[in-house]
Amino acid sequence: MTHEDQGQLQQRIFAQRLPLFTVLVSLVFGLLVLRLYYLQIVRGRHFSRLAEENRISLIRVRAPRGIVFDRHGNVLVTNRPSFSVSLDLDAVRDLDATVAAVAAALGLDHAELAGKVRAVEPFRRFEPVRVKDDVGRQEVAALEALRYEHPGVLVEVEPRRSYPHGTLASHVVGYVGQISAAELKARADLGYRMGDYIGKMGIEKELDAELKGRDGFQQMEVDSLGRGIKVLSSIPPIPGHSVTLTIDLALQQVAEELLAGIAGAVVAIDPRDGSVLAAVSSPAIDPNSFSHGLSQEEWDRLSHDERHPLQNRIAQAQYPPGSVFKILTAAAALESGAITTATSFSCRGAMRYGNRDFRCWKKEGHGEVSLHRALVESCDVYFYQVGLKAGIDEIARVAREFGLGKATGLELGSESPGLIPDSAWKRRVRKEPWYSGETLSAAIGQGYDLVTPVQAAMLAATVANGGSVYRPHLIRRVADGAGSTVRTGAVIVERTVRLKPGTLDAIRGGLWGVVNEPGGTGAGARVPGLAISGKTGTAQVVRMAAKGERQAAGGLKSKDHAWFVCYAGNGTTQVAIAVIIEHGGHGGAVSAPIARRLLTELKSLGYFQESIARANAFPAATDAEDSP
């Protein structure tokens, strides 16, 4: 058989069999048309009755979002019943009269409401038009009286997010809002719908999937006026999981009062496991007003506020660490063998390097100082010298050992990494070599160095606990509606700082002296009966080169940021705190007293006794003795 014949044979068989396919298609679609004829023509009236006259309506029952508690079970975020008013246009008898009556009862603009209703009316008559959300009880009472004269006015109860403490811990808990088009698109397959509320910031956002719960449904038989006759069956909503935070409400409250009216941040962390006891970003925002939709005016005011209340300073704001960084410069110098604790340098108030004078904060100078006194009095010249000896790359290496320069992993999202510069970074990013003059700035935490408040607190915590870099965390427990634990916050050691024996001891001794020895810059943090160690820092807002301008400019923005980091305890170290006050001036004068107030509060709360009991119960917790 030739190739040609073969092709013809194939085509012939194909042509013979093709009509069978056509017959199959006709049969199948004929059957479907018959089925449609049966459903729509023969039984059409029956189904119409089901659909319209005595229709069965499927009503979504919103699941209440999970409650958020502090570590002691105090409610931080909850839901409250809220009334919403809608108009069922199918049931309304006299539309104009009803609209007028409802507008009067709710204090709405009549013309505006009428316009809103008219826009919807030609389409979707059966879909209730939402008139007003979150209606007050008196207005509800007024509407109840109207409902007999004006059928079709619906008053529904919905759970609504409520933040009973107002602005408290606003940057931690965050807020919710109606799902946006972009969010809906990204989550269309996960059961989110238009009009849903979704977490927009903080814990509300990061734990949205767990807090959300699952909406329920009610299959309701309704009459031709849309009134429910009886519930046929229902799937109850599953409430969202409740979340217990590590935050201590009382401590948080005190911390926020201390920062009232000031721009800055406070982070208090338990150095034994990385749990966050308090985290304040000031100025705060009010999640209640965010959750119900801000007016354009409010939004403009917030977004143009020069103190940036929308920024979450806890983990997003990056500041030069100032003298707080001397902890790391000291560690690097001791580790590399560049100095010993006995090495001393002479400070005469400034140091000439290259063609510039690098000044010490104390004009008259500190005289001959070694490590201990240099930390206690925060001598800049000493650390210029030490920084030069250790070198920028060794300083950066040790700083990264302590977990700086990258996000800590706190559960607030969009965390800033901070910045720990070294010569490789400078070549890569700035396309320039590292100048040794810059090492001097870096050694005292100026120049390129940046840390976030939570990183500063973690630095203190790591020094306190003997070198374990924990992942700071806010979640203590997630529980389902019945109260049984779904998961607990994991205590994670990100890394362990490897240092020579003696290095941490020497640094801790210095930090103890900062608070407790004569001439220490952190004396303002002392609390009787507590062993407190700390480090002050003053972060220059404008680079040194521009110092002249800064002084000339004057006013609020010209002052330096005031840092204080510390750790404290009674026997063991139980808390590490970082305080930063923007444009506050000197850390010792401004931020140390705030730390003192926090420690005093913790003491009066019985935190240090409680912690001892806890430490005994969990012997695994790091036992870090303070230096004498």
Partner 1 sequence: MIDRRLLRDFDWVMLGLTLALAAVGAVGVYSATHAAEGVSPLFYDHLRRLGVGLAALLLATLVDYHVILHFAWIAYGFGLAALVAVDVVGMVGMGAQRWLSLGVVSIQPSEFFKLALVLVIARYFSGLRKPSPFAWSDIWPIVVATAVPFLLVMKQPDLGTAMIIAGIFVVMLFVAGVDVRLFAWSAGGGLSVAGALFGLNVLGVFNPLGLLHDYQIKRIRVLFDPDLDPLGAGYHISQSKIAIGSGGLTGKGFMEGTQSGLNFLPQQHTDFIYSVVSEEWGFLGSVAVIALMVLLILWAVQTARKARDFTGSLLAMGVATIFFLHCAINIGMTTGILPVVGIPLPLLSYGGSSVLTTFAGIGLIMNVKMRRYLYG
Q: Shortest approach of partner 1 to residue 225 CB, angstroms?
A: 14
The DSSP secondary structure of 541-603, one letter per residue, reads SS-GGGHHHHHHH-SGGGSPEEEEEEEEEESEEEEEEEEEETT---HHHHHHHHHHHHHHHHH
Q: Shortest approach of partner 1 to residue 134 CB, angstroms?
A: 17
Query: By CB under 8 A, what part of segment 171-200 binds partner 1?
Result: 181-182, 184-185, 188-189, 193-195
Stretch that binds partner 1, among 7-15, 276-284, 377-385, 393-401 (CB under 8 A): 7-15
- Give the residue with the Cβ less far from partner 1, 17 or 498: 17
The catalytic position among 86, 323, 416, 591 is 323
d(CA 241, CA 477): 10
DSSP count for the chain of H helices, then E strands: 23, 23
Query: CA 18, 24, 25, 27 torsion: positive or negative?
Result: positive
Check if 416 is active-site: no
Q: Where do the H-state alpha helices sit in 207-279?
A: 208-212, 249-258
Closest C-alpha to 523, from 361, 368, 376: 376
DSSP annotation of 423 reads H
| Among residues 26, 54, 224, 303, the one that binds partner 1 under rule CB under 8 A | 26
| Residue 414 binds partner 1, judged by CB under 8 A | no
| Residue 46 binds partner 1, judged by CB under 8 A | yes
DSSP annotation of 13 reads H
| Residue 342 binds partner 1, judged by CB under 8 A | no
Query: By CB under 8 A, what part of segment 108-167 binds partner 1?
Result: 120, 123-130
Which SS3 state, helix, strand or coil, does residue 445 take?
A: coil
- Give the residue with the Cβ less far from partner 1, 47 or 618: 47
| Three-class secondary structure assignment of 533-547 | EEEEEEECCCCHHHH
For the stretch 556-575, what's the b/e string if a residue is b when 16 or more beta carbons lie within 10 angstroms of its beta carbon?
A: eeebbbbbbbbbbbbebbbb
| Residue 292 binds partner 1, judged by CB under 8 A | no
The DSSP secondary structure of 142-183, one letter per residue, reads HHHHHTTTSTTEEEEEEEEEE-TTTTTTHHHH--EEEPPHHH
Take residue 598 and report the two structure tokens written for it.
């926090």
Let me know how long the chain is: 628
Site pattern 215..254 for partner 1 (x: CB under 8 A): --x-x------------xxxx-------------------
Q: Shortest approach of partner 1 to residue 110 CB, angstroms?
A: 21
- Give the residue with the Cβ less far from partner 1, 46 or 301: 46
Q: Shortest approach of partner 1 to residue 201 CB, angstroms?
A: 22
Q: Shortest approach of partner 1 to residue 298 CB, angstroms?
A: 21
Query: By CB under 8 A, what part of segment 353-372 binds partner 1?
Result: none
- Give the residue with the Cβ less far from partner 1, 5 or 306: 5
Binding residues vs partner 1 (CB under 8 A): 1, 3, 5-7, 9-11, 13-15, 17-18, 20-22, 25-26, 28-29, 31-33, 35-37, 39-41, 43-48, 50-52, 55-58, 60, 120, 123-130, 181-182, 184-185, 188-189, 193-195, 217, 219, 232-235
Enzyme catalytic residues? 323
